[in-house]
Amino acid sequence: MLELEEREQDVRAVKGKVAIKRNEHGVPVITADNFPDALYGLGLVQAFDRGMQMEITRLVARGQMSEHMPSNENLIAMDRTMRKYDIWGFSCKQVGLLEEDAREELEAFCRGVNDQFKENPPSEFGLIAYVPEPWGPADCIAVSKIMSMVDMDETQGWIRKFIVQMVKAGTTPAMLREIFTYMTEEPDEHYLEKLRQVKIAEPYAPETLKWAAIPRERTSSHWMIAGSRTNTGKTILCGSPELDSARLPALWQEALLSVGDFYCMGVYIPGIPLPALGRTNHLAWSVTYSCMDVMNYFLEEVKDGKYRRGDDWVPFEVREEVIKIKDAEPLTVRYYENIHGVLEGEPAEDGYYLCLAIAIRDTGARSFAEFSRHYRGRTVEASMDHLSRCDALSFNWGLVDASGGIGYQMSGRCPVRPDNWIGVLPLPGWDPACDWKGFYPPEKNPRLLNPEQGFFGTSNQDLNGLTDVHIQTLPMSDDRAVRIAELLAARQDHSVESLMAMQYNVYSKHAEWTLPLIRHLLPEDGNGRLLSEWDLVYASDSVAASIFENVYFEIVRTVFGDCGVGRDVIAYILDNSELFYMYYGQFDHVLRREESLWFGGRTRDEVYREAVMRGLKMPAAPFGSTRQVMMKNLVYGDMTPDFNYGPIEIIGCRGTVSQGAVFKAPGGRIATFSPTIRFISDMSSNRYYSCLAGGPSEKPASPLYASGVEDWLAGIYKLIEP
């Protein structure tokens, strides 16, 4: 087990010894003769540096936060949500499906975690009188599924639930089609009347949002550049996963593994022994969220506690869960399941209910085996095949290799749905013709190998064009992808230095197309003039950027609130969740139209003129002053302010390469998304460059606790090499 951060140690592992030291940045370096021993060392390191973070994440996945942490309503609600998803139950079943090598390596990693916890656990364990259960492969599977499912795939459920609420508020299918352009449903009035009666058991944003410890990759970007466009003649990969940066410790942990002649310099989620971003002798890769369709709602008709299938009434399967609550009586919760998924609420009354279908519930084991083969491979093309089969991970992967290959691959498992009901609206559960018809095979997942232009980037945009089936119904805006492509196409001599600057670029493609729609409505003086002359850069000292934000969001409140579902509803979404920030591109489909049902019978100029005038009258401060947040310790929070850091500025906004958002999550917690690590790998050398929003350690007293924050803010990258 590990005792001190600064001490180099040789430790007895599974088959032999493992050497563990730290480089000049405090990043652990693990050397072993075989992979099980290397992963045993990684387990020691993760448990030593991020033990409490690991344990909180696993308790979330198991739905056991209320049992072990000081309980409150938020934690109980979150446990109920996680038990509804049954991540832990399905993860336990997946253990039996692990391939032998994957099982051996997961068990070695877990043995390292358990040995470390047994001899030198985090101090917080003692403070809350917590004795952890031994880690096992099911825990690693559960944590990996949280990374994909909670708050990423989960947002598909939120937006679809909000769509149901829009219909209940009077929004017509024609109005929905203007927003959600892939919508194929043509529901009749009989269906719509049923949908308007649906019982919504929970608000659209579930309680998981209230806890900062869950790894949430909300938006991200990466790009791959062929040697024909770099100054070294070798490929370069850049990655910027965007998660919540208003927290410490950093979500990511960097670690270097050496096994014989093979090295892997990786960026890990603690609790998962697979690097989400990484660099080996032969490959470099990065990850973004894919927006693959993996969640749908079904509309179920319920009578006498049964659901209708054609002319038959079928009983639900009832799963009973006991949620233990610290210093309180346990809570028994029942979940009602059918062939589609989990019912929202209990069918105590006759009527119509939503039922959540999740494509990746019964996945996990295969992903560990295929991902391990990916990162130990030699070529982009071979890795793409392995990643395509990672069915539990709904992600985009960018890859480059040392032999000059670049590529893109989507992973995950997408259901086959009827062409005439793509799932913007809940599928009629009583009609077997609307059931999922299995899943598309991995080779149908979008992919691109060695594009002719010599570069490719993703930022959660529409990638249906890279396959012949429908994979994404609700992709995010392509603003950043277009901007990234523009910058990459602009030169043939990209360098590490030029790409570092690009990762901090805050020019807004979103503002570029929006401003021409309103420029002729702006007065020639005051805030109107400032906005008209804005350079579209979200600079820290830019007042014009704040004016644009005021005007744009007032247009949103006017069009979708005053002319739609109500200003208070839209104001709540804008002020209390990330939903609009993630799906603003869908709503912009309406704002770009010259005529729209959302304009209430008026012209676009008539609607926009009123909104613009109101927006211009709002107070506007330098943009950076509106983006100040504290990085709060995920355990102590405001209880121990000295463990927090800041305030810091979240740079960028919608449509900027370095995208950033600050919003109030349900429960009042200030949340963000921004690039929590910036990663660049130049295959002309055996190194990568990174800047992390935090440090290697979760221990507030450690010099490695927040050691990277200032460099992350300043755009100063550290060099990592084997």
Q: Which two tokens stand for residue 9?
A: 């140690």
**Is the pLDDT at 671 greater than 90, yes or no?**
no
C-beta of residue 297 within 8 angstroms of C-beta of residue 354: yes
Arithmetic mean of pLDDT over the chain: 94
For residue 206, name the pLDDT band (cuts at 50, 70, 90): very low
Of 60-64, 242-246, 659-663, give the range with the top mean pLDDT: 60-64
Q: Which single residue is written with the structure tokens 């990162």? A: 375
**Is the pLDDT at 39 greater than 60, yes or no?**
yes
Rounded Cα–Cα distance for residues 528 and 386 (Å): 53
290, 537, 573: which is closest to 408 by C-alpha?
Answer: 290
pLDDT tens-digit readout, 51-63: 999 999 999 999 9
C-beta of residue 683 within 8 angstroms of C-beta of residue 230: no
Rounded Cα–Cα distance for residues 53 and 422 (Å): 38
Q: Which residues contact 311 (CB under 8 A, 6 or more apart)?
A: none
**Is the pLDDT at 209 greater than 60, yes or no?**
no
pLDDT tens-digit readout, 141-199: 999 998 877 656 678 888 999 999 999 989 999 999 999 999 999 999 999 999 999 98
Rounded Cα–Cα distance for residues 113 and 331 (Å): 31
Mean pLDDT across the stretch 235-253? 94
Q: Is 352 left (phi over 0), alpha (psi -120 to 50) or beta?
A: beta
Rounded Cα–Cα distance for residues 281 and 213 (Å): 33
Pairing mode, strands 645-649 and 247-248: unpaired
Mean pLDDT across the stretch 243-252? 92
Burial class for 391, CB neighbours closer than 10 Å (0-12, 13-18, 19+): buried
**Is the pLDDT at 75 greater than 60, yes or no?**
yes
Pairing mode, strands 253-259 and 247-248: unpaired
String of DSSP letters for 535-582: -SB--TT-HHHHHHHHHHHHHHIIIIIIIII-HHHHHHHHHH-SHHHH
Rounded Cα–Cα distance for residues 698 and 251 (Å): 10
pLDDT tens-digit readout, 469-513: 999 999 999 999 999 999 999 999 999 999 999 999 999 999 999
Q: List the beta bridge partners of residue 456.
A: 224
CATH fold of 509-625 reads: 1.10.1400
CA 235 from chain center: how many Å? 27
Q: Which two tokens stand for residue 139?
A: 């825990």
Rounded Cα–Cα distance for residues 529 and 546 (Å): 13
Percent of the residues in the chain that have a pLDDT greater than 90, as a whole number: 85
pLDDT tens-digit readout, 573-615: 888 777 888 899 999 999 999 999 999 999 999 999 999 999 9
C-beta of residue 668 within 8 angstroms of C-beta of residue 283: no
SS3 state at 299: strand
Angle between the 35-62 and 137-148 helix axes, to the nearest 10 degrees? Answer: 60
- Cα–Cα distances (Å) from 519 to 128, 195, 513, in that order, read 58, 41, 11
pLDDT value for 217: 46
pLDDT value for 580: 87
Residue type, 191: Y
425, 426, 466: which is closest to 443 by C-alpha?
Answer: 466
Q: Which two tokens stand for residue 269?
A: 């989620």
pLDDT value for 368: 97
Burial class for 408, CB neighbours closer than 10 Å (0-12, 13-18, 19+): buried
